[in-house]
Structures are given as C-alpha cells and as structure tokens.
Structure 1
Amino acid sequence: MNRTTTLKSHYYYDEAIFAKEIECIFKEEWLWVARSEQLSKQGDFITTDVAQFPIVLVRGKDNILRAFHNICRHRASKVELRKSGNCKQLVCPYHGWRYSLQGQLSNPPKFHGSDSFDHNDHSLYPVNIEEKYGLVFINLSSEPKSLIEWLGPFNSVVGDQYSDDFLFHNELKFDVHANWKTYVDNYQEGYHIPNVHPQLNRDVIWEEYELLNTNDCSIHSVPEKGESDQPGSFGWHFPNFIFNIYGRGIVYQRIEPLRPKWCRVIYNLFRPPDISYDDFENNEGKYQLEVSLEDQELIPEIQHNLQTGIYTSGPLSTKYETGVAYFHDLIINKLNRELNNDSNNRGDR
C-alpha cells in the first residue's frame, strides 16, 4: 500500500476528470455489458450505452456474437432504436440503410453517391467482444489484450464458483446520485460493515477482513461466523466489475459512470438449477437487496459532502482500507499521461 490518503475531493465531481476517465479508462478496459442468455438465438440483439457510446450487440446467422457502434455510416443515426429483440438485418430508421448481422452494408436504397462510393467500405464500426461466465464483455480500444489475460486472478476465482448450468435469477438496477468512484470506494473496504450492514456484521468477523490487491483487481476474504450460511467470496476488477458469492449462487455487479455526480449500479443474480426461484429470492436475493439498500442510504450523502469544498481528502487505514488505496493509485496511474501535471500542481500525490 503506497497511498495513505484518499484522492482529492474534486476527483469525484470535476467534469474534466470525468471526461478523461471515459477516454483513458472506460475506452481502454473490458466492460461487462450483458448476459449471454439474452443473445442466445441468431438475430437476437441488444442496444445499450457504454461509457456514453451507443452500442448494438447481435448474434449473427453464423451464430457468432458481434458488437458494433450503433451509428449508421451515412448520417450518424442509430441503426437500431429498440432496446432488444430479434431481427434479420439492422435497418437505419433515418434513410433506410440496411446492414447484415455481420455489420456489412447492403446497397443503399436510391442512393446516388459519387463514382468512388463503395458500399463495401461502409460497414458498421466493430467493437471487440468476448463471453465468459455467462456474461458478455466489450472493449472499445483498437487492440486490447484478451479478456482472459485482462481478468488475471479473477478468472480462477470466479471460475471456481460459476457453473455453466446456473440460471439467471433477476436483475437489480439503481441510479445513484454519486460519482462512480464513490460507489467503488465503498465496495473496496469492510471497515464500514459494523455500522452499515447489521446482518452482514452478524455473519462475518469483519476485523479479519483482508484484501489481495494485484493485477488491477482486489480479491476480498472475510471469515464467516460459525452459524452463517451466506457470505462467501468477493472481488472487484478495475474499473467497475464486481462479483459476490452469497450462499448458493453468484452475483455480478457493475457500476456505470453516467455523469460526474451520477452512476448506475446493476446487479445480476444467478442461482443453481436445483434451487427454486422463491427459495433463492427469499434467501440470497433478499440478502443482496438488503446490503445494497443499506449502502445507498449513505453513498449519496458522502457524494454531497465531497462537493461542499469543506472536505478535501482524508486518511486511509493501512489495515482496513488497502483496497481503497489500491483503487485510487490505479486511477492516478491510468490517468497519469493526461493528469500528471494537474496532479502535481494540486499535490494529489
């Protein structure tokens, strides 16, 4: 642990820093965006916004899953306005330009282009895409490392818990009045457990909460109390991918940056096939919702105080907040090329 103080408070609301995070972090990292079961059939598609970029995911007639920027090559309309569905081709609603499920442009209708116009040069812009653990990940950079390489230690930790026969249980989604980093900070330490999470505190020995911070991820471990059947394994991968294993299933979580002072938190719960919906919902599902709502009572208040100009930074525990320190160091390192001079001037290090 190198850092012993938090990021300066302006990192949590500054428009310029937020823009640089989108450019230098979210355009460079693998990001979980969907579930494989949502795109299981040929022609299945989903549209979404990822780090402010409109994206369409579609399963081709060759059964290959692809991702494209949801931008027509003609005049920049979205080629698909629906959230999800099944289609035989992608048709721009503006001028009717049609694209195959492989992203290739068909001859545009009644388009009188120049002699040099070649529709073969106007395919949709592709986006890197891979699947793992029943999830779909994309990467907006030009030549990313493979998803497996990016996952690092996460691959074995999650792989030991996830099973291909798991069933999607449900999704929880919250828009939270807080910077995305404010929410990650909260996840990256167990120091707040006794005051914020009464049931979780009854299930674990929080004083023995430990983190292994390596390869852009933090693997959390905390001993369970003897009578507990809920807590299991926890982990975070930079910048916003999280897994929680409660009892018999697995929960994936992502924290999406919406605006400098707003984020969206999404949970997807999966259960073993031999566990009924009601059984899982009344136990693991209820547990996850309870913990989530407890966090959300405090996080917007923290965000508000970060913006007051009173608080500038605070000390970090070298025992209980190593995950926060690691996260903050990663932020500085990832933004270093853009923010090096600014950080030195403000004394962030």
Structure 2
Amino acid sequence: MSDEFPAKSADPRLQSVRLDEASALSPDFYAGDHWLGVDQAAVLEPGWQILCPASDVAQPGDHVVRDIGRVPVLIVHAADGALNGFVNVCRHRAGPLALCDGKGAKRLRCAYHGWTYDLDGQLRTAPEMQDAQSFDRDGIALARIELQTWNGMTFARARAGGPDFATVMAGIDALAAPYDLAGMHHHHRRIYKVAANWKTYVDNFLEGYHLPFVHPGLSGVVSYPQYRTELAPFWSLQRAPVSDPNGLYADGEALYFFIYPNTMLNILPGRVQTNRVVADGPSHCRVEFDFYYAPGFESMAEADDAFSDEIQGEDRLICERVQQGLNSGAYRPGRLSPSQEAGVWHWQNLLREAYARAEGGTTHGDANN
C-alpha cells in the first residue's frame, strides 16, 4: 500500500503525512464525550467486528446480545437455519428483546411490555393494542444488522457506511490458511476491563516496540529482532517467529492481525485468540477475549490462559498509565518510529480519515431502519 494518506481536513490534527515524518494522534481525541460519540457513530457502528464464536449460535433459538457502539444488537439462530442479526430494541417503546445470551428461545419477547417477535424479527403479538386504530401488526419487524460468518467466527456491523466485509478482510484468508482456523474449537472467554480509552488499548496492540520493556515473559518466546509489520487497506499484521523452551508455545510463527476498527486475531501454532475492544466511556474500555484450539491442543488451555492473563495484566497497567499521560495536558504528540510503529501510523490515519468525514457532516448516527 502507499506510504501516504490523502489529507481530508483543514484541521491540522487530522492531516496525514508520510510514515517517516509522522507523529502520534493528538491526545484531544482520547478524552471527552464528543470524541467518544464520534468514535461510536463514525468508526465503531459502521465497522465490521467479531461478536461471538459461531458455536454460540449453532442451534435454533441460540442467541447472543452485544453492543456495537451505541447500538444494542442481538444475533439469533432461527428455526429455518438462518442466522439473523437485529437491533435489540423493540419497535414499541425501545425495550430490550433479550437481556443476556441464551439457548433454545422460541420467540423474542420484549422485557418492557411483552411485544413478541418470531426469530425472523416479525412482530407476532402486541398486548393491549386492540383499540389502536390502523395498527398494522404485520408491517412491524425488528431492524436488521448485517452478519458474516468467517472461519467459525461471527462478525457484524450495526449499520452501513464503511467498506463491505470482503473488502475489509481481503488477503487474510491466504495468510491464515496454514493454521486451519475453521478446524479450531472455541474453548472459553475472558473479559478484561481497562481504565483507558479504547484507542489507547488498540495503539498498544499495534506495535511490538514495547515488548522488551513491558512483557519480559512474552519477549522470551517471541523474537523481537525478527518482528515485522505488514499493512493492507483495512488491516495490519505483526508477525514474528515463536519458540518456547518450556513448551507452552510450539515452534513456528505468530501472526497478530488487527482488523479495523476494533478486532484482533492472535494466531499461533495450534490456537487463536480473538479480541474485540469495546468503548465503555472516554477513559474506559473492555476487551472480550475468546480462545480457540485445534484438536489435540486443548490440553494447553489452562497454562495458555494463565500466560495470556499475565500479558493482559501488563498491558492493562501500561495502558492506564499512558491514559493518565494523555489526559495530563502536558503531552504533545511524539514522533513515530518508522521501523516499529507502522501499524500505529496506519490505524491512526484511518481514524483521521473517519474523523474528517464525520466533522465534515457526512457521518450520520442512525442504526439500520
């Protein structure tokens, strides 16, 4: 890809420059409700992101509830085998159709006033509406969201406005093919809460520059001198050889994909971790981790989880300290390392473009109708 993005805004904070001339994104964008709202409407809601393992919604009535930006969403496996995605908001007075993940549901019933929908989103019963003139029950259905299943993982976006799924993912299949992701099985999930802006966490993921200073254990198995970054239009890849004399990591290569705007795939011999970074507030986020293993590798799950938990603890602490620095009023954007922070530069330029479009009035905040 090109090493230069076209400038799309007169705002100097949003001007994109060559990697070898680049500085980090302004701290202004990591604080306050305004930029959180822009992130939700212009970046997260139209962005494809992983929501759950396909195995979580494998049978009729299985459903999961999540949030994409400001939009509560619901994925449900219908009786006809279709996988449906809806805005988890009743058409009556905005009550929720489901409050938590579940199995075997026959219908979707609003927890507020009991309006009931089929698993295809069509309204079936509406209590106490018999006196409402011209009430068209058959014309009422839940708003839909887009879904895609990829290698046993379910992706979604809350509304249109960004590139389609195939465009976002183009090129990843060929690189991931030797690992047979579709043959891996979901094992468990963890959720981490971090007192930092969601972008602070993403910034940290996108470079191996900090490995020798923050992750002594991981540095012992990932070859920092051979660490390199590759860029595509909507994703970046950090890759490096891995070797662990203690046996936790099989010898091979680690592939760390970041898929814009907030999905990460950590692919290693015999397993993959997926991460989704959720913006909970200007200075808070949570990270949803799902662990998958190839047949014969499940026995390493406990040790793998403990090692991952150690790494996440280190990342959480440094991200929270970085957030304090961003909020201090004393920080001015520093220069980026061309050799180590290409992934940060790439992602922050995608943000600059999204912010420029939003501030220009071309981004709207409505979910699908």
How many Å separate the matches in 2 of 1:54 and 1:159? 33
Distance in 1, Cα, partners of 2:154 & 2:85: 10
Q: Distance in 1 between matches of 2:134 and 2:119?
A: 25
Q: Secondary structure at the match of 2:278?
A: strand
CA distance in structure 1 between the aligned counterparts of 2:244 and 2:102, rounded to whole angstroms = 45
Partner of 2:197: 179
Percent of matched pairs sharing the same residue: 26
Shift of 1:140: 1.6
Q: 1:132 pairs with 120, 143, 150, which one?
A: 150
* 2:266 paired residue among 237, 244, 260: 244
Tell me the amino acid that sits aligned with residue 251 of structure 1: Q
Indicate which of 350, 364, 367 corresponds to 1:330: 350
CA shift at 1:113, angstroms? 4.8
Segments ≥4 residues shifted beyond 6 Å = none
Find the residue that maps to 2:212 and give its secondary structure: helix
1:25-36 to 2 correspondences below 5 Å = 25-36=43-54
Contact 2:27–2:331 (8 Å) recurs in 1: yes
Alpha-carbon distance change, 162 to 290 in structure 1, aligned in 2, over 3 angstroms: farther
- In the TM superposition, what is the alpha-carbon distance from 1:274 to its structure 2 partner? 1.9
Preserved CA contact (<8 Å) 2:123 2:141: yes
Q: Where does residue 264 of structure 1 map in the other structure?
A: 286
Flag the 1:288–1:100 CA change in 2: closer, same or farther, 3 A: same
Cα offsets for 1:154-184 (capped at 9, x unmatched)? 2332343234332212212101000111011
TM-score of the superposed pair, with normalisation by structure 1:
0.90
Q: Distance in 1 between matches of 2:159 and 2:176?
A: 25
**Equivalent residue in structure 2 for 1:275, among 283, 297, 302:** 297
2: CA distance, partners of 1:340 / 1:180: 23
Residue 114 (structure 2) pairs with residue 71 (structure 1): no
**How far, CA to CA, are the matches of 1:113 and 1:79 in structure 2?**
24
Report the Cα distance in structure 2 between the residues aligned to 1:121 and 1:187, rounded to whole angstroms: 46
Superposed displacement of residue 340, structure 1: 6.0
Give the secondary structure class of the aligned counterpart of 1:297. Answer: helix
Partner of 1:116, secondary structure, is coil
Amino acid paired to 2:347:
F
Query: Alignment partner for residue 233 of structure 1, among 208, 231, 255?
Result: 255
Question: Which residue of the partner structure matches residue 80 of structure 2?
Answer: 62
**Secondary structure of 1:332's aligned partner:** helix
Asked if the contact 2:68–2:157 (Cα under 8 Å) also holds between the matched residues in 1, the reply is no
Cα offset for 1:118? Answer: 1.0
Give runs of aligned pairs for residues 60-99 of structure 1, distance below 5 A: 60-99=78-117
Q: CA RMSD in A?
A: 2.1
Structure 1 residue runs without a partner (length 5+) = 342-349
- CA deviation digits over 1:229-249, x for unaligned, max 9? 365211111111111123321
What is the Cα deviation at residue 143 of structure 1? 6.9
Structure 2 partner of 1:198: 216
Number of equivalent positions: 339
TM-score (norm 2): 0.86
User: How far apart in 2 are the matches of 1:242 and 1:300?
Assistant: 20
Aligned equivalents of 1:219, 1:269: Cα separation in 2: 19
CA contact (8 A) 2:208 2:340 kept: yes
Contact 1:196 1:294 (C-alpha < 8 Å) held by counterparts: yes
Range moving further from structure 2, 286-295 or 9-18: 286-295
SS of the aligned residue for 2:265 comes to strand
1:321 alignment counterpart: 341
d(CA) in 2 for partners of 1:220 and 1:85? Answer: 37
Deviates more, 1:297-306 or 1:134-143: 134-143
**Equivalent residue number for residue 15 of structure 1:** 33
Contact 1:52 1:258 in 2 (8 A): no
Unaligned stretches of 5+ in structure 2?
4-17, 362-369
Q: Which residue of 1 aligns with 2:322?
A: 302
d(CA) in 1 for partners of 2:349 and 2:162?
22
